[in-house]
Chain A
Amino acid sequence: DIVLTQSPDSLAVSLGGRATINCKSSQSVLHSSKTKDSLNWFQQKAGQPPKLLIYSASTRESGVPDRFSGSGSGTDFTLTIDSLQAEDVAVYYCHQYDNTPPTFGQGTKVEIK
């Protein structure tokens, strides 16, 4: 199974600050087509299901504010939240679907400092 390791496990950022979450994969999740990475980012707020933020490593889902961005390829990925807002408090998960079973990172909890 592909293991996704997120860092840090939690971080506290001031309102308006930047949050950076890393996700490292135990093997490449670059699709066989070599055109995209099979890596998504989800946001999960308390008591809610996960919500897709970023797909194919760097494409923002429709309706997601542009302060959220994804980058990386192969085995190393980053989710960046610029100008953190109070409503961004949540747990963020990376997820790969290149191999079966699909797997998730352990989650990163983002709080307001």
Chain B
Amino acid sequence: EVQLVESGGGLVKPGGSLRLSCAASGFTFSETWMSWVRQGSGKGLEWIGRIKRKVDGELTDYAAPVRGRFTISRDDSENRLYLQMNSLKIEDTAVYFCVTGLGKGDLDFWGQGTLVTVSS
């Protein structure tokens, strides 16, 4: 059974940092591109970035609002995906989903999400 379990969310002050983690199981993690998508309260879905496989150079892409502040990384030995968030802003408040593509697009399967609240 495919599972994605996010952790690391919480309350952080503007300008602060937070690191999210996603534990993956049930599929060959090293063979898939992994993404993060966020959703503000009552709002739509916003893709924030992805990391490709090692064979693809583990290249990363980021959405403009987070580029230069957020960094995505992966540990294939641990089947884990990470999102390092720096210089956090109030508008980064959202539920952050770990998402993978299993052959039906880039974002087939979603974790339950973890809430990040940026507030003073």
Hey, which bits of chain A sit against chain B, CB under 8 A?
A: 38, 40, 42, 48-52, 55-56, 59, 61, 93, 95, 97, 100-107
Contacts and interface: CB of A to CB of B under 8 A. Distances in A.
Interface stretch (B22-30, B69-77, B83-91, B103-111): B103-111
Contact of A102 (B97, B106, B110): B106
Nearest to A91: B44
Among A51, A93, A95, the most chain B Cβ lie within 10 Å of the Cβ of A95
Contacts of B11: none
Contacts of A93: 44-45
Nearest to A62: B104
B106 A104 contact: no
Nearest to A107: B44
Contacts of B107: 40, 52, 95, 97, 102
A40 B44 contact: no
Contacts of A38: 105
